[in-house]
Structure 1
Amino acid sequence: TFSADLIYDTLRRHDPDHLLLRCARADAARGLLDVARLGELLSRIRGRIRVQRLERVSPFAVPAMMEIGRERAPGSSAAEMMLEQA
């Protein structure tokens, strides 16, 4: 049997733009956080936000904290997801 880590490391080293790696990156970005939308938001509010370290978790952070560690169950097979990305 092949280890997924071995395949990932080999592709990353020898073919960093491989379809499987692009699909994995896109799926991870969408599954954990919509990175593109977050980037757009940060660009829009640049220079207009204030960062302040809190002693405890803000109530506004609770929904995000609840999502940490959750696994997403894809609705389609890996092959279908790769075809969509292609």
Structure 2
Amino acid sequence: MPVNLNDWLGDHVWAWWLCLFVLVVTAAVLARSRIVLAAAGGPAAAGGVAAFVPDRFWVQAGVCVVVSVVLVVVVRVVERRNPGAGTPARRAAP
């Protein structure tokens, strides 16, 4: 009997978190934003938790939210202390 895709995704919840991670990283690259990139850490962490606790969605969602918020706050604080750090120097037009 073949496996239905819905059954497989129900058994492998980490795949949903991986898809969300890829979408957020893609948005970060397109927006060229470190803050959005920091928010991608949440789905990555939730995917790791889903590998160990696949039947507790609320735990996974909580980890996603907490890790995303912490990483965004850390990145914002670092960017405010060092504005322009990590960006290439711009030359004046001739």
Same structural fold, with TM-score higher than 0.5 when normalized by the shorter chain: no
Going by fraction, where is helix more abundant, 1 or 2? Answer: 2
Normalising to structure 2: TM-score of the pair?
Answer: 0.28
Larger relative contact order (Cα-Cα within 8 Å, sequence gap ≥ 6): 1
